[in-house]
Amino acid sequence: MTASVPAASSAGVAPAAAPAVPAKALGVFALAMINVAAVLSLRNYPSMAEYGWSSIGWYVIGTVTFLIPVSLVGAELATGWPKGGGIYAWVREAFGEHVGFIAVFCEWSNNLVWFPTVLSFVATTFFYAFNPDLASDNALLFVVMMAVFWGTTLIAALGEKVSSAFGSVGVMAGSIIPAILIIGLGILYVGTGKEIVLPPFTPTAIVPTIELSTLPFVATVVLLFAGMEMAGFHALEVRDPQTDFPKAMLISAAIIFVLTVAGTLAISIVVPTSELSLAAGLMQAFDAFLVAFGLDWLVKPLALLVALGGVALLASWLIGPALGLGVVANEGSMPPTFAHTNRRGAPTGVLVIQAILGTVISTAFLFIPSVSSAYWLLSALTVTLLCIAYVAMFASVIRLRYTQPDVHRAFRIPGGIVGVWIIGGVGLFACAFTFIVSLLPPTGENVGIAEYAVFMLLGTAVLALPPVLFIRFRRASWTSQAGRSGPSGS
């Protein structure tokens, strides 16, 4: 490895000692499951199912403009710079500590506004196993959301080996198995000649309608596959990163695309768009399928499995960016509280802080009358923050081909420098375009374009720019204290 990490001393502070990490324990399967857990979200199926056959076209757009580029870029960066911190380490190599800090902070802070959306999905699905009407009680919804949130935080604090094992089991039992099941039920449903609500297929039906009213939806589609780089945060725990990362990227990308497209269509054939619930649409489809085949007794246990899949999704995003931010803090760019780790190497300082902040933001579900309104508003902010992080990531792979061309990468984007510009350029354009259209209000919302855009920009700035303040007011004592914030620090 000939790459050199820009030292924190470039900002007048000497680098701190690296935090203690557990023994390497992750192989190809574990890495692939980390990505699948972070990306394969059954909760997205209902929102895409509303578009019927054209959802295929939307998925192709997302795959070509984002899934393929982020998979290839993630594989090259992870195998060239298999260091703790994931996107922070990669962007820092290309553009320095400050830009790397902003990139990983955006990926972390987007979680703060995203956590409540996945928690509401988990809670709503959990209620489906008992009484779906309970989901209309915002107070009860909040209690279950918090129980799941803090429970998952506790699992993350047990260390990467435990959290990775939980994620692998959770994604298999709660995402992959239910996805395969709903696809199988859909095939059986059609094969037995039962009535379907999806219009007959035509080649033109898969072509999405792209117009002003659907532009905000483009933002959802492009970043539907966000998280494919999540395994990069675990680079230090991989047995053989030079060969395992590319294999894991290929396996996880194939699993995600096939299950996502087929699962979405399965919902479309049985649940009318007018009756589809964004939060409970998946269980609506399962309910319809299982009742049709006299297996309605499976609805409740299946709801619990799907809820488990949502928890696995949460766990993957909860620990990954926290590890990256912990690396930043350990170098003295943040107060030492953020650098605290326990004896298992878990970034407990960041985990506790994000749990507290996530709890505060989740109170939106107590005060905003419509859960859907809160859900959409928070989801929109996650998109703009992720765009910033991914723009930095795509730009980094291009720059590093020029500044560090001799660094060994077990996987290189094909086509030499032209190939890197094509893949990185497509990703850059997709993210920049997505950021712009995210400033447009969704159809049906009674709000002006200018007012909505100002709100989105202000919200994004508040959640993206704290690194500027941390760097501006950084203290020398943060570095010395961070170096001692290992296992004994918490």
Q: SS3 sequence, 171-191?
A: HHHHHHHHHHHHHHHHHHHHH
In a domain, 320, yes or no: yes
Q: How many angstroms separate the CA atoms of 129 and 99, rounded?
A: 45
pLDDT in tens, 71-119: 889 888 888 888 766 788 899 999 998 899 999 899 888 888 878 878 8
- Domain with 292 in it: what CATH number? 1.20.1740.10
Q: Which pLDDT belongs to residue 390? A: 94
- Kindly provide the b/e burial profile for residues 99-137, where b requires at least 16 CB atoms within 10 angstroms of the residue's own CB: bbbbbbbbbbbbbbbbbbbbbbbbbbbbbbbeebeebee
Q: Which pLDDT belongs to residue 5? A: 31
Q: pLDDT grade, residue 382 (50/70/90)? A: confident
Quick check: helix, strand or coil at residue 40? coil
Q: Which pLDDT belongs to residue 8? A: 33
Q: Which pLDDT belongs to residue 2? A: 34
Q: How many angstroms separate the CA atoms of 99 and 83, rounded?
A: 17
Mean pLDDT in residue range 181-193: 89
Q: pLDDT grade, residue 489 (50/70/90)? A: very low
In a domain, 5, yes or no: no
Strand partners, 26: 238
Task: Kindly tell me the sign of the dihedral angle through the C-alpha atoms of 196, 62, 408, 87.
Answer: negative
Quote the tokens at residue 429: 């354009």
Spell out the residues 6+ positions from residue 115 whose beta carbon is closer than 8 angstroms to its own. Answer: 149, 314, 317, 318, 358, 361, 362
pLDDT in tens, 152-174: 999 988 887 788 788 778 878 88
Residue 292: pLDDT above 60? yes
Residue 490: pLDDT above 60? no
Of 120-134, 146-160, 275-289, minimum mean pLDDT range: 275-289
In a domain, 15, yes or no: no
Higher pLDDT, 452 or 16: 452
Q: Average pLDDT of the chain? A: 80
Q: pLDDT grade, residue 10 (50/70/90)? A: very low
Residue 249: pLDDT above 60? yes
Q: Which pLDDT belongs to residue 236? A: 64
In a domain, 14, yes or no: no
Quote the tokens at residue 433: 């375009």
Residue 38: pLDDT above 50? yes
In a domain, 221, yes or no: yes
Q: Which pLDDT belongs to residue 242? A: 67
Of 164-173, 289-298, 422-431, minimum mean pLDDT range: 164-173
Residue among 91, 95, 108, 15 at smallest CA distance from 463: 108
Q: Which pLDDT belongs to residue 20? A: 45
The backbone torsions φ and ψ at residue 16, rounded to the nearest 5 degrees and listed phi first, read -90, 165
Quick check: helix, strand or coil at residue 118? helix
Amino acid at 23: A
Q: How many angstroms separate the CA atoms of 360 and 363, rounded?
A: 6
Residue written as token pair 């393929």: 68
Q: Which pLDDT belongs to residue 394? A: 96
Residue among 197, 189, 160, 119 at smallest CA distance from 371: 119
Residue 216: pLDDT above 70? no
Q: How many angstroms separate the CA atoms of 468 and 140, rounded?
A: 38
Spell out the residues 6+ positions from residue 427 whose beta carbon is closer than 8 angstroms to its own. Answer: 65, 66, 69, 70, 73, 390, 393, 394
In three-state form (DSSP H/G/I as H, E/B as E, the rest C), the secondary structure along 335-348 is CHHHHCCCCCCCCH
Q: How many angstroms separate the CA atoms of 125 and 307, rounded?
A: 6
Amino acid at 106: C
Q: Which pLDDT belongs to residue 340? A: 85
Residue % of the chain over a pLDDT of 90:
14
Q: pLDDT grade, residue 215 (50/70/90)? A: confident
In a domain, 229, yes or no: yes
- Give DSSP secondary structure letters for 393-462: HHHHHHHHHHHSTTS--SS--TTHHHHHHHHHHHHHHHHHHHHHHTTSPPTT----HHHHHHHHHHHHHH
Residue 4: pLDDT above 80? no
Higher pLDDT, 357 or 317: 357
In a domain, 13, yes or no: no
Quote the tokens at residue 390: 């991914």
**408: number of Cβ within 10 Å:** 11
Under a CB-based contact definition with an 8 Å cutoff, are residues 403 and 80 in contact? no
Q: pLDDT grade, residue 447 (50/70/90)? A: low
Most confident of 98-102, 244-248, 452-456: 98-102
Most confident of 98-102, 219-223, 279-283, 307-311: 98-102
Q: pLDDT grade, residue 395 (50/70/90)? A: very high
Quote the tokens at residue 120: 């509401």
In a domain, 407, yes or no: yes
Quick check: helix, strand or coil at residue 202? coil
Quote the tokens at residue 348: 């407990």
Quote the tokens at residue 417: 């420098």
Residue among 125, 268, 259 at smallest CA distance from 186: 268
Range of the domain at 250: 26-489
Long-range contacts of 271-276 (CB under 8 A, 24+ apart): 271/46, 271/49, 271/197, 272/197, 273/49, 273/50, 273/52, 276/46, 276/49, 276/50
Q: Which pLDDT belongs to residue 18? A: 43
Q: pLDDT grade, residue 15 (50/70/90)? A: very low
Q: Which pLDDT belongs to residue 141? A: 83
**Phi/psi class of residue 209: alpha, beta or left (left: φ > 0; alpha: ψ in -120 to 50)?**
beta
Mean pLDDT in residue range 41-62: 83
- How many domains in the chain? 1
Residue 52: pLDDT above 80? yes
Q: Which pLDDT belongs to residue 225? A: 79
How far are the Cα atoms of 60, 345, 431, 443, 445 from residue 215, in angstroms, in the given order? 16, 43, 13, 10, 14
Mean pLDDT in residue range 262-287: 80
Rg for the chain (alpha carbons), in Å?
A: 22
Under a CB-based contact definition with an 8 Å cutoff, are residues 362 and 145 in contact? yes
Q: pLDDT grade, residue 22 (50/70/90)? A: very low
Residue 1: pLDDT above 70? no
**2: number of Cβ within 10 Å:** 7
- Kindly provide the b/e burial profile for residues 422-450, where b requires at least 16 CB atoms within 10 angstroms of the residue's own CB: ebbebbbebbebbbebbbbbbeeeeeeee
Residue 357: pLDDT above 70? yes
Of 45-59, 60-74, 192-206, 210-224, minimum mean pLDDT range: 210-224
Q: How many angstroms separate the CA atoms of 439 and 124, rounded?
A: 28
